[in-house]
Amino acid sequence: MMIEINRVCVIGAGQMGTGIAQACATAGFAVRLNDREEKRIETAFANIDRSLAKLVSKGKLGETAGSDARKRIVPAHSFADLAECDLVIEAATENEATKREIFSALCPSLRPEALVATNTSSISITRLAAATDRPERFIDVHFMNPVPVMQLVELIRGIATGEETYEAARTFVAKLGKTSTMSEDFPAFIVNRILLPMINEAVYTLYEGVGSVESIDNAMKLGANHPMGPLELADFIGLDTCLSIMQVLHEGLADSKYRPCPLLVKYVEAGWLGRKASRGFYDYRGGMPIPTR
Protein backbone atom coordinates (compact mmCIF):
# COMPACT_ATOMS: atom_id res chain seq x y z
CA MET A 1 0.00 0.00 0.00
CA MET A 2 1.46 3.36 -1.08
CA ILE A 3 2.17 5.70 1.81
CA GLU A 4 0.73 9.21 1.62
CA ILE A 5 3.47 11.78 2.08
CA ASN A 6 2.50 14.81 4.15
CA ARG A 7 5.39 15.26 6.58
CA VAL A 8 8.93 15.47 5.23
CA CYS A 9 12.23 15.61 7.07
CA VAL A 10 15.46 16.80 5.48
CA ILE A 11 18.78 15.72 7.02
CA GLY A 12 21.59 18.12 6.21
CA ALA A 13 21.18 21.91 6.33
CA GLY A 14 23.72 22.74 3.63
CA GLN A 15 22.95 24.28 0.26
CA MET A 16 21.02 21.27 -1.07
CA GLY A 17 19.15 20.45 2.14
CA THR A 18 18.11 24.07 2.57
CA GLY A 19 16.78 24.20 -0.97
CA ILE A 20 14.89 20.91 -0.59
CA ALA A 21 13.29 22.09 2.65
CA GLN A 22 12.18 25.34 1.02
CA ALA A 23 10.76 23.58 -2.05
CA CYS A 24 8.81 21.12 0.11
CA ALA A 25 7.41 23.85 2.37
CA THR A 26 6.41 26.02 -0.59
CA ALA A 27 4.50 23.04 -2.02
CA GLY A 28 2.53 22.67 1.23
CA PHE A 29 4.42 19.91 3.05
CA ALA A 30 5.21 20.10 6.77
CA VAL A 31 9.01 20.07 7.00
CA ARG A 32 11.56 19.31 9.70
CA LEU A 33 15.17 20.28 9.04
CA ASN A 34 17.94 18.39 10.85
CA ASP A 35 21.70 18.85 11.02
CA ARG A 36 24.28 17.69 13.52
CA GLU A 37 25.45 21.32 13.82
CA GLU A 38 22.82 23.68 15.27
CA LYS A 39 24.56 26.69 13.72
CA ARG A 40 24.02 25.28 10.24
CA ILE A 41 20.29 25.06 10.92
CA GLU A 42 20.24 28.72 11.98
CA THR A 43 22.12 29.68 8.80
CA ALA A 44 19.71 27.58 6.72
CA PHE A 45 16.67 29.37 8.14
CA ALA A 46 18.27 32.77 7.44
CA ASN A 47 18.95 31.69 3.83
CA ILE A 48 15.39 30.42 3.41
CA ASP A 49 14.03 33.73 4.73
CA ARG A 50 16.11 35.64 2.17
CA SER A 51 15.17 33.29 -0.66
CA LEU A 52 11.43 33.46 0.06
CA ALA A 53 11.58 37.26 0.42
CA LYS A 54 13.32 37.48 -2.95
CA LEU A 55 10.63 35.34 -4.60
CA VAL A 56 7.91 37.52 -3.05
CA SER A 57 9.60 40.76 -4.17
CA LYS A 58 9.83 39.42 -7.75
CA GLY A 59 6.15 38.46 -7.75
CA LYS A 60 6.92 34.75 -8.15
CA LEU A 61 5.34 33.94 -4.78
CA GLY A 62 2.51 35.64 -2.92
CA GLU A 63 3.32 37.32 0.39
CA THR A 64 0.94 35.05 2.31
CA ALA A 65 2.26 31.95 0.50
CA GLY A 66 5.82 32.93 1.40
CA SER A 67 4.92 33.49 5.05
CA ASP A 68 3.01 30.21 5.24
CA ALA A 69 5.89 28.29 3.64
CA ARG A 70 8.34 29.60 6.23
CA LYS A 71 6.02 28.59 9.09
CA ARG A 72 5.90 25.01 7.79
CA ILE A 73 9.64 24.50 8.39
CA VAL A 74 10.77 23.72 11.94
CA PRO A 75 14.08 22.42 13.28
CA ALA A 76 14.60 18.79 14.28
CA HIS A 77 17.30 18.62 16.92
CA SER A 78 17.68 14.84 16.90
CA PHE A 79 16.52 11.78 14.97
CA ALA A 80 13.99 11.17 17.75
CA ASP A 81 12.12 14.24 16.44
CA LEU A 82 11.51 12.44 13.13
CA ALA A 83 9.23 9.71 14.44
CA GLU A 84 6.12 11.05 12.66
CA CYS A 85 7.74 11.77 9.29
CA ASP A 86 6.38 10.05 6.18
CA LEU A 87 9.52 10.70 4.11
CA VAL A 88 13.06 11.42 5.23
CA ILE A 89 15.47 12.87 2.65
CA GLU A 90 19.17 12.68 3.45
CA ALA A 91 21.13 15.56 1.92
CA ALA A 92 24.45 15.28 3.75
CA THR A 93 27.90 15.53 2.21
CA GLU A 94 28.69 13.31 -0.80
CA ASN A 95 30.54 10.70 1.24
CA GLU A 96 29.32 7.11 1.37
CA ALA A 97 30.60 6.33 4.86
CA THR A 98 28.86 9.42 6.28
CA LYS A 99 25.59 8.56 4.59
CA ARG A 100 25.65 4.94 5.75
CA GLU A 101 26.32 6.09 9.31
CA ILE A 102 23.32 8.44 9.14
CA PHE A 103 20.98 5.72 7.86
CA SER A 104 22.07 3.21 10.49
CA ALA A 105 21.40 5.73 13.27
CA LEU A 106 18.22 7.11 11.72
CA CYS A 107 16.08 4.06 10.98
CA PRO A 108 15.32 2.97 14.58
CA SER A 109 13.56 6.33 15.12
CA LEU A 110 11.21 5.96 12.15
CA ARG A 111 7.83 4.31 11.71
CA PRO A 112 8.07 1.00 9.81
CA GLU A 113 6.12 2.41 6.85
CA ALA A 114 8.19 5.60 6.50
CA LEU A 115 10.14 6.07 3.28
CA VAL A 116 13.84 6.92 3.32
CA ALA A 117 15.48 8.76 0.44
CA THR A 118 18.93 10.04 -0.35
CA ASN A 119 19.89 13.02 -2.48
CA THR A 120 23.19 11.47 -3.57
CA SER A 121 24.44 12.60 -6.96
CA SER A 122 26.57 9.54 -7.70
CA ILE A 123 26.74 6.81 -5.00
CA SER A 124 25.18 3.35 -5.44
CA ILE A 125 21.59 3.31 -4.17
CA THR A 126 21.72 -0.45 -3.66
CA ARG A 127 24.71 -0.10 -1.31
CA LEU A 128 23.16 2.78 0.63
CA ALA A 129 19.85 0.92 0.96
CA ALA A 130 21.72 -1.99 2.54
CA ALA A 131 22.64 0.31 5.45
CA THR A 132 18.93 0.68 6.32
CA ASP A 133 16.33 -1.67 7.78
CA ARG A 134 14.01 -1.01 4.80
CA PRO A 135 15.79 -1.36 1.42
CA GLU A 136 12.44 -1.88 -0.31
CA ARG A 137 11.35 1.57 0.96
CA PHE A 138 14.58 3.33 -0.02
CA ILE A 139 15.13 5.46 -3.14
CA ASP A 140 17.27 8.29 -4.51
CA VAL A 141 15.36 11.53 -4.99
CA HIS A 142 18.15 13.52 -6.63
CA PHE A 143 17.38 17.24 -6.84
CA MET A 144 19.32 19.64 -9.03
CA ASN A 145 20.96 22.78 -7.63
CA PRO A 146 19.54 25.36 -6.91
CA VAL A 147 16.55 23.29 -5.83
CA PRO A 148 13.85 26.02 -5.77
CA VAL A 149 14.67 26.92 -9.39
CA MET A 150 15.63 23.69 -11.16
CA GLN A 151 12.77 21.61 -12.51
CA LEU A 152 14.35 18.17 -12.80
CA VAL A 153 14.51 15.47 -10.13
CA GLU A 154 16.23 12.17 -10.92
CA LEU A 155 14.64 9.09 -9.34
CA ILE A 156 16.96 6.10 -8.95
CA ARG A 157 15.88 2.72 -7.58
CA GLY A 158 18.19 0.26 -5.89
CA ILE A 159 17.87 -3.43 -6.63
CA ALA A 160 15.42 -3.88 -3.71
CA THR A 161 13.36 -0.68 -4.12
CA GLY A 162 9.65 -1.51 -4.30
CA GLU A 163 7.29 -0.27 -6.99
CA GLU A 164 5.12 1.43 -4.33
CA THR A 165 8.15 3.40 -3.15
CA TYR A 166 8.95 4.55 -6.68
CA GLU A 167 5.34 5.59 -7.32
CA ALA A 168 5.17 7.46 -4.00
CA ALA A 169 8.38 9.31 -4.87
CA ARG A 170 7.10 10.14 -8.35
CA THR A 171 3.85 11.51 -6.91
CA PHE A 172 5.80 13.53 -4.34
CA VAL A 173 7.99 15.12 -7.03
CA ALA A 174 4.91 16.03 -9.07
CA LYS A 175 3.37 17.76 -6.03
CA LEU A 176 6.54 19.87 -5.81
CA GLY A 177 5.77 21.09 -9.32
CA LYS A 178 8.86 19.40 -10.71
CA THR A 179 9.49 16.79 -13.41
CA SER A 180 11.03 13.42 -12.57
CA THR A 181 13.12 11.19 -14.77
CA MET A 182 14.08 7.62 -13.92
CA SER A 183 17.70 6.47 -14.03
CA GLU A 184 19.20 3.06 -13.46
CA ASP A 185 21.54 2.57 -10.51
CA PHE A 186 24.85 3.15 -12.32
CA PRO A 187 27.61 5.51 -11.11
CA ALA A 188 26.56 9.20 -11.31
CA PHE A 189 23.22 8.28 -12.98
CA ILE A 190 22.27 10.50 -15.99
CA VAL A 191 22.95 14.19 -15.37
CA ASN A 192 26.29 13.87 -13.60
CA ARG A 193 27.43 10.98 -15.82
CA ILE A 194 27.35 13.51 -18.66
CA LEU A 195 28.01 16.81 -16.86
CA LEU A 196 30.95 16.01 -14.57
CA PRO A 197 33.26 14.52 -17.24
CA MET A 198 32.70 17.76 -19.20
CA ILE A 199 33.70 19.82 -16.14
CA ASN A 200 36.68 17.53 -15.53
CA GLU A 201 37.77 17.99 -19.16
CA ALA A 202 37.51 21.77 -18.72
CA VAL A 203 39.84 21.48 -15.72
CA TYR A 204 42.25 19.39 -17.84
CA THR A 205 42.09 22.12 -20.51
CA LEU A 206 43.14 24.63 -17.84
CA TYR A 207 45.75 22.25 -16.37
CA GLU A 208 47.40 21.70 -19.76
CA GLY A 209 47.52 25.44 -20.52
CA VAL A 210 45.14 25.32 -23.47
CA GLY A 211 43.22 28.27 -22.08
CA SER A 212 42.76 30.42 -18.99
CA VAL A 213 39.78 30.16 -16.62
CA GLU A 214 38.14 33.14 -18.31
CA SER A 215 38.78 31.98 -21.88
CA ILE A 216 37.48 28.45 -21.17
CA ASP A 217 34.28 29.72 -19.57
CA ASN A 218 33.68 32.36 -22.25
CA ALA A 219 34.31 29.79 -25.00
CA MET A 220 31.59 27.50 -23.65
CA LYS A 221 29.13 30.29 -22.88
CA LEU A 222 29.47 31.99 -26.26
CA GLY A 223 30.50 29.02 -28.40
CA ALA A 224 28.16 26.35 -26.99
CA ASN A 225 25.45 28.67 -25.61
CA HIS A 226 25.89 27.39 -22.03
CA PRO A 227 24.36 29.73 -19.44
CA MET A 228 27.37 29.24 -17.17
CA GLY A 229 30.95 28.25 -18.01
CA PRO A 230 32.12 24.81 -16.80
CA LEU A 231 34.65 26.19 -14.28
CA GLU A 232 32.16 28.70 -12.91
CA LEU A 233 29.67 25.85 -12.65
CA ALA A 234 32.22 23.69 -10.83
CA ASP A 235 32.65 26.46 -8.26
CA PHE A 236 28.88 26.65 -7.86
CA ILE A 237 28.53 22.88 -7.36
CA GLY A 238 31.56 22.69 -5.03
CA LEU A 239 34.93 21.34 -6.15
CA ASP A 240 34.89 18.70 -3.41
CA THR A 241 31.56 17.41 -4.74
CA CYS A 242 32.90 17.44 -8.31
CA LEU A 243 35.94 15.45 -7.20
CA SER A 244 33.81 12.95 -5.25
CA ILE A 245 31.61 12.29 -8.28
CA MET A 246 34.61 11.84 -10.59
CA GLN A 247 36.13 9.40 -8.09
CA VAL A 248 32.88 7.40 -8.03
CA LEU A 249 32.84 7.32 -11.84
CA HIS A 250 36.52 6.34 -12.05
CA GLU A 251 36.26 3.59 -9.44
CA GLY A 252 32.81 2.35 -10.47
CA LEU A 253 33.40 2.15 -14.23
CA ALA A 254 37.16 1.41 -14.19
CA ASP A 255 37.76 3.60 -17.24
CA SER A 256 40.73 5.99 -17.40
CA LYS A 257 38.65 8.62 -19.18
CA TYR A 258 37.03 9.36 -15.81
CA ARG A 259 40.34 10.00 -14.00
CA PRO A 260 39.97 13.21 -11.94
CA CYS A 261 42.26 15.97 -13.17
CA PRO A 262 45.24 16.47 -10.82
CA LEU A 263 44.51 20.22 -10.75
CA LEU A 264 41.01 19.54 -9.40
CA VAL A 265 42.59 17.40 -6.68
CA LYS A 266 45.04 20.21 -5.80
CA TYR A 267 42.29 22.80 -5.47
CA VAL A 268 40.36 20.53 -3.11
CA GLU A 269 43.51 19.81 -1.10
CA ALA A 270 44.04 23.58 -0.77
CA GLY A 271 40.50 24.03 0.54
CA TRP A 272 39.59 26.11 -2.52
CA LEU A 273 36.19 24.46 -2.90
CA GLY A 274 34.40 27.15 -4.90
CA ARG A 275 31.75 29.64 -3.85
CA LYS A 276 31.13 28.09 -0.43
CA ALA A 277 34.81 28.60 0.48
CA SER A 278 35.04 32.02 -1.29
CA ARG A 279 37.78 30.64 -3.57
CA GLY A 280 37.91 28.08 -6.31
CA PHE A 281 38.60 28.66 -9.99
CA TYR A 282 37.44 32.18 -9.13
CA ASP A 283 38.19 34.31 -6.06
CA TYR A 284 34.89 35.56 -4.60
CA ARG A 285 36.27 37.57 -1.70
CA GLY A 286 35.94 40.92 -3.48
CA GLY A 287 33.08 42.62 -5.27
CA MET A 288 33.60 40.74 -8.53
CA PRO A 289 34.76 37.13 -9.07
CA ILE A 290 38.40 37.11 -10.24
CA PRO A 291 39.92 34.07 -12.03
CA THR A 292 42.60 32.35 -9.95
CA ARG A 293 44.52 31.10 -12.99
Strand pairing report for 290-291 and 282-283: antiparallel
Residue 121 annotated in active site = yes
Residue 119 annotated in active site = no
CA dist 44 and 51 (Å) reads 10
**Cβ–Cβ under 8 Å, residues 230 and 198:** yes
- Which one of 34, 51, 119, 121 is the catalytic residue? 121
**Cβ–Cβ under 8 Å, residues 231 and 216:** yes
Residue 109 annotated in active site = no
- Which one of 34, 51, 142, 180 is the catalytic residue? 142
- HSE-up of residue 56 (Cα within 13 Å, Cβ side): 16
- Which one of 90, 94, 154, 232 is the catalytic residue? 154
- Which one of 34, 192, 200, 244 is the catalytic residue? 192
Residue 218 annotated in active site = no
AA identity, residue 249: L
CA dist 247 and 242 (Å) reads 9
Q: Which residues pair with 138 in a beta bridge?
A: 116
Question: Which residues have CB under 8 Å from 54's CB, separation 6+?
Answer: none
Residue 271 sits at φ, ψ, to 5 deg, of 80, 10
Question: Which residues have CB under 8 Å from 75's CB, separation 6+?
Answer: 32, 33, 34, 41, 45
- Hey, which residues are catalytic here? 121, 142, 154, 192
